[in-house]
Amino acid sequence: MVVDTDEYVGGPDSEKEPIAIINPDNLDNEVEQLQDLPLATDYEAMKDVIFPPLLEEPRILEDVHHTWTVESWRSMSKKEHGPVFEAGGYPWRILLFPHGNNVDQCSIYLEHGFEPTQIPENWSCCVQFALVLWNPNDPKLYTHHCAHHRFTKEESDWGFTRFLELRKMFNVPWESGNRPLCENETANITAYVRIVEDETGVLWHNFNNYDSKKETGYVGLRNQGATCYLNSLLQSLYFTNAFRKAIYEIPTQEEESMSNSAYTLQRLFYQLQTSETAVGTNELTKSFGWETRHIFEQQDVQELSRKLMERMEEKMKGTPAEHVLPQMFSGKIKTYISCINVDYESSRIEDFWDIQLNVSGNKNLLESFQDYVQVEKMDGENQYFAGDEFKLQDANKGVIFQSFPNVLHLQLKRFEYDIQRDTMMKINDRYEFPEHFDASPYLSEDADRSESWEYQLHGVLVHSGDLNAGHYYAFLKPEKDGWFYKYDDDKVTKATIREVLEENFGGEYKTSPNAYLRAPMQKKTPVLRQNSAYMLVYIRKTRLDNILCPVTKDDIPMHLRTRFEEETALREAKRKEKEEQHLYIGVKVITEQSFQKHGGTDLTSFEPDQAETEAAPRSYRVLRQSAMEELVATIAKDIDEDPRKIRLWIMVNRQNKTIRPDQPIMDLRPTVEETFQRAAAHRDQSLRVWAEVAEETTPEGEAIWPTYQSQLNGVVVKNDLILLFLKHFDVEEQSLNGIGHVYISKEKKVEELVPIIMKKMGWGDKLPSDEKISLWEEIKPTMIEALKAKQSLKAAELQDGDIICFQKTTERKSDKNILEKHLGLGDKDKQTPEQPVKKSDRFDDAREYYDFLHNKKTVKFHAHPTRCNAEKYQPFELVLNSKITYDMLSERVADRIGVPATHIRFWTVNSATGNPKTTVKRGVNQSLQLILNPSGYNQLSTSQRTDAFYFEVLDMSLAELDTKKSIKITWLSEGITKEDQYDLLVAKNGNIEDLIQVLVKKAGIPEEAEGGRIRVYETSSHKFYRELPRDYPVISMNDYTNVYAERVPEEEANEEEANNFIQVFHFQNEPNRVHGIPFKFLLIESEPFAETKKRLEKRTGFKGKSFEKIKFAVVKRSHFSKPQYLQDDDVLWDIATNDDDFLGLDHVDRTRTLRNGVGDLFLR
């Protein structure tokens, strides 16, 4: 037989991969010696063989076994059911596929025996079961498989699709016996059913359609990417109810800003308290100032906790909650040195907000505390100097607690630096912590003991995984005498005390006590748990009621409740609107008033960003099945007109992509939907109309329309009048606005429009002799054509809905090159870079203004964050013609900020980071459009924003700047440990001597005569490249090397021309893992390396432990991968014999995380 405890199981109808495959051939090839295996008929003994211990260790409620004798195996149908038997008060039966469930093996399952209509609602039962197939004539011959499962209405069966190969069942002796397992086509199947207690209601739950709020009363937090560590901390703080109350007390009603972390934390806590579903943390992390990269970086929870406490404590200053956090989370610790033989003690008392406890070397929490407060004896050479009176004395050194906080945060040091691996490693050792503990043994003798110092466990924050990849979750106890709950991101489940304690101690998994397991299995390497506690939260028992006080609706600030009620109502309205969206249609209505406010092309703008302006069309949401009469009545009421005086015109999309009125809607009996389907273009999402208001009415109040009159017989009569819209370009105001509409016969001449225009404008009957009215047709934004005065409207091809633009002119101007003159783009041969440039846009001709409208672009300008005074120059926006040149752009910006245009330099903006990208090169005829989008709208330009610039105000003109070379240099003032970077501008015809003079002035450092000689050198890939001579031309400096400058060390002052120098570089473990700043170092003949190290310590600036951790090696270029590590008695002069030998400093690269973009955790 085969003993197999693997639980690769599934239901017979599962659509998943065939995970129920159990193939005995895949097990160990050797026939293993089994220890006194029982017979299949010894049901009690068989339990020890077939049931492995369950990880969850649930309480066993009932054990039942049932045997079904299967006869005529090969004659059975595809699917057979065994007799029903009872276990745990529920019916069960064996489900058999004797010929295999679509496989060449027999398939056996356990299923509940309820009739389909009799399954109790929300029924579930947790079962550990085993199925044993055995020969009734020889019960020594059997095979079995075991599994556990949560049986529900949806998952009614579970078992083994590949229970046993059919070819092994018949006519083949089973293992060491001489009979087949299924002899004479007869075999027994015994089902062992163990009903176990589902104490939490989620044992082996698949969590499909699981509702945390319904099952537990609590909700989780959604994970943004790698914010599970944040979620576990936030849940811990939320269920510290006194902390939640204190957060609610922070006054935020005057600063309801999403950049206010106190306000967003209040919002988060409110949602955790009231929401029915998991809550997001996006608002909070944005208020921290975190970007997307921070969301995907797992940070240190202890550091995050401290910074969050600091930020909230700042927010509470001057409020009733000012001292709440220190009283809740802060204790006092005393650091002391006490002399043994004389009465002398040196001590200081400090506040602490959490305690870091060593896990390594300690078995449990109590041992860690003892380790923390253990006394170190200072004697012998380590005696303590107790002042001039007592001199050197034997003393005890240590720490002792003066008091513990009401809420005690214990940080378990699960991550430690491994000196052998030279990296941080997770400690998975078993480490126990109790549900209750007494902290009084770790208090000083004079501590206040009037109350008990016993603590009760409130929270366990857990890390699962290793240093580089893992997951965080928390076990928390919201109520004093309640359950613990597991908070795993968006899922909340009830937890047993075993899950809280035993499963988070770490260490090895328990080995099975099963005596019948194979010996080789018992010898397997122990498996360590990957999940273990890293932070514990204890609450002082005498303060439990205060800390876990109820937080009611009345504790929530009224402004917060009101804001959320408004947001909830808005969301509900949007949800309802979305649900009913198919019943409604949007209607956009252009009125005479909106046309008159419109300052652009066409009659209006339908763009969403213009929806809130006075020029925007009125928007209505109407039922599709409502009559057009109802729509007219609604519009009439809105604009305060008699509905009989309103006529709606359908707006159509012309071929030239303009939108104009086409014809009036004469029949108002159809529905809005019918009118829309008949009149609107297929691509329109809403009905767009122009609302005409009648200028004449009958005595009865009925409208008299100039054209499209309806007769009594229903016929619509159209005369030769056409509808035209008038726009006025005001040269003085530099504006273009709608004036109204007119009806005019198309047989009339264009000049006959002039009296009508003058009357509408109130200009009298006649213009002055030096003035005239010019007329143009706005065909489309880029096509504005002059109208001939003597031409008829019909000959000019004018029709309903066309737009006529007019303006007063004082003299006749040539149409030729109007735009070129305005933009400064005229005769290029006559242009020079020095000719005057217009500082602002002024248009004398309507066509110029139309061109501006078509090409206008709103551009944002920000002062360069590092090269300009951002406080002096606030961000601003300019509306510019995208055809203007670089010089014109400079003039516009210069005029705005009050500096010379020649001293402004622009930078493009990185669209991903928002940071300055590259400088903009000045080109005489380069347009703004080309500057902002140099490669057109393609992938190459997506990294550059097309609507913004950074600018810097230079100390010199751009022309002068072109004569300079920009050099980025790093000034080393303290060995190589302190770096200051400077951007220097040096004359292109200058040399290193000039560069040094510019550096001295820019960095504000002493001149060489006072501070010492300065040298400049280049590095490449963290290796010393070359020292630059003083007369070396700066124009020849490499743009791809790093440039450093430093004072020449005193020991080298007289040796600069010698060759007794060695190049030094830094590496970590392997010579190819380079980092740091390389330099050159003076060699001294016959000097022991112990003395050389002293000079290196001074030369580098590394001090104390930082220097002690460095290992030194000679790295020969020919054997670059084999460093030769140096001892104190070695002589570097004798070992580094070749000119190309390096001295390598082997130490940890502390800048790696920063170079990879991971910096210190911060909260804004």
Confidence (pLDDT) at 3? 31
Active site residue 471: yes
Q: Which residues are CB-neighbours of 799 under 8 A, at least 6 positions away?
A: 722, 746
Residue that the structure tokens 């120098």 belong to: 1061
In this structure, is the dihedral angle defined by the CA atoms of residues 650, 653, 654 and 660, taken in order, positive or negative?
positive
pLDDT level of residue 647 (50, 70, 90 thresholds):
very high
Confidence (pLDDT) at 907? 92
Q: Which residue has better confidence, 20 or 47? A: 47
Judged against a pLDDT cut of 50, whether residue 296 lies above it is answered with: yes
**Over residues 196-216, mean pLDDT:** 89
Contact 180, 38 (CB under 8 A): no
Active site residue 182: no
Q: Which of 65, 148, 294, 471 is catalytic?
A: 471
The rounded distance, in Å, linking the Cα atoms of 129 and 63 is 9
Contact 453, 440 (CB under 8 A): yes
Q: According to the per-residue pLDDT averaged within each range, which of 236-245, 379-388, 1132-1141 is highest?
A: 236-245
Confidence (pLDDT) at 713? 66
Contact 187, 71 (CB under 8 A): no
The rounded distance, in Å, linking the Cα atoms of 113 and 94 is 9
pLDDT level of residue 177 (50, 70, 90 thresholds):
confident
Confidence (pLDDT) at 590? 94
| pLDDT per position as a tens digit, 1025-1041 | 999 999 999 999 988 89
Judged against a pLDDT cut of 50, whether residue 531 lies above it is answered with: yes
pLDDT above 90 as % of the chain:
52
- Whole-angstrom CA distances from 1044 to 416, 975, 978, 1146 are 36, 12, 12, 22
The rounded distance, in Å, linking the Cα atoms of 773 and 668 is 40
User: Which H or E run includes 783?
Assistant: strand 783-786
Contact 593, 616 (CB under 8 A): no
Angle at which helix 261-274 crosses helix 558-579, to 10 degrees, equals 60
Contact 308, 250 (CB under 8 A): no
The rounded distance, in Å, linking the Cα atoms of 184 and 135 is 10
Confidence (pLDDT) at 23? 42
**Across the chain, which distance is largest between two alpha carbons, in Å?**
129
| pLDDT per position as a tens digit, 569-583 | 888 888 888 888 889
Judged against a pLDDT cut of 90, whether residue 1054 lies above it is answered with: no
Judged against a pLDDT cut of 90, whether residue 208 lies above it is answered with: no
Lowest mean pLDDT of 141-145, 555-559, 816-820, 1127-1131, name the range.
816-820
Q: Residue 747 forms beta bridges with which residues? A: none
Q: Which residue has better confidence, 521 or 623? A: 623
Q: What's phi and psi for 615, nearest 5 deg?
A: -85, -10
pLDDT above 70 as % of the chain:
88
Secondary structure of residue 160 in the 3-state scheme: strand
| pLDDT per position as a tens digit, 414-459 | 877 665 666 678 888 899 999 999 999 999 998 999 999 999 999 9
Judged against a pLDDT cut of 50, whether residue 737 lies above it is answered with: yes
Half-sphere exposure of 391 (CA within 13 A, CB side): 0
pLDDT level of residue 303 (50, 70, 90 thresholds):
confident
pLDDT level of residue 935 (50, 70, 90 thresholds):
low
Confidence (pLDDT) at 736? 92
CB atoms within 10 A of CB 418: 12
**Over residues 1052-1066, mean pLDDT:** 81
The rounded distance, in Å, linking the Cα atoms of 589 and 617 is 5
Q: Which residues are CB-neighbours of 312 under 8 A, at least 6 positions away?
A: 246, 247, 250, 261, 262, 265, 325
pLDDT level of residue 816 (50, 70, 90 thresholds):
very low
Confidence (pLDDT) at 513? 53
Confidence (pLDDT) at 868? 87
Q: Which of 125, 126, 182, 228 is catalytic?
A: 228
| pLDDT per position as a tens digit, 345-385 | 888 899 999 999 999 889 999 999 999 999 989 888 888 88
Considering the chain, what is the average pLDDT of its residues?
A: 85
Confidence (pLDDT) at 823? 44
Give the end-to-end CA distance of the chain in Å, rounded to a whole number.
Answer: 66
Judged against a pLDDT cut of 70, whether residue 1051 lies above it is answered with: yes
Lowest mean pLDDT of 384-393, 507-516, 907-916, name the range.
507-516
Confidence (pLDDT) at 682? 55
What domains can be seen in the chain, in order of their start residue?
A: 24-196 (2.60.210.10), 212-323 (3.90.70.10), 327-482+530-547 (3.90.70.10), 580-719 (3.10.20.90), 724-812 (3.10.20.90), 834-954 (3.10.20.90), 963-1048 (3.10.20.90), 1058-1164 (3.10.20.90)
Per-state percent for the chain, helix, strand, coil, to nearest 5: 25, 35, 40
pLDDT level of residue 194 (50, 70, 90 thresholds):
very high
Q: Residue 150 forms beta bridges with which residues? A: 126
Judged against a pLDDT cut of 90, whether residue 298 lies above it is answered with: no
**Over residues 43-49, mean pLDDT:** 91
pTM of the prediction? 0.64
Judged against a pLDDT cut of 60, whether residue 804 lies above it is answered with: yes
CA dihedral 40→46→49→52, nearest 10 degrees, is 130
Q: Which residues are CB-neighbours of 570 under 8 A, at least 6 positions away?
A: none
Confidence (pLDDT) at 16? 38
pLDDT level of residue 293 (50, 70, 90 thresholds):
low
Confidence (pLDDT) at 4? 36
**Over residues 297-322, mean pLDDT:** 82
Lowest mean pLDDT of 264-278, 513-527, 622-636, name the range.
513-527
Judged against a pLDDT cut of 60, whether residue 1135 lies above it is answered with: yes
Residue that the structure tokens 């199981």 belong to: 9
In this structure, is the dihedral angle defined by the CA atoms of residues 1153, 1154, 1158 and 1162, taken in order, positive or negative?
positive
| pLDDT per position as a tens digit, 691-724 | 999 999 999 988 899 888 777 666 778 888 999 9
Confidence (pLDDT) at 1104? 80
CB atoms within 10 A of CB 172: 13
Confidence (pLDDT) at 850? 92
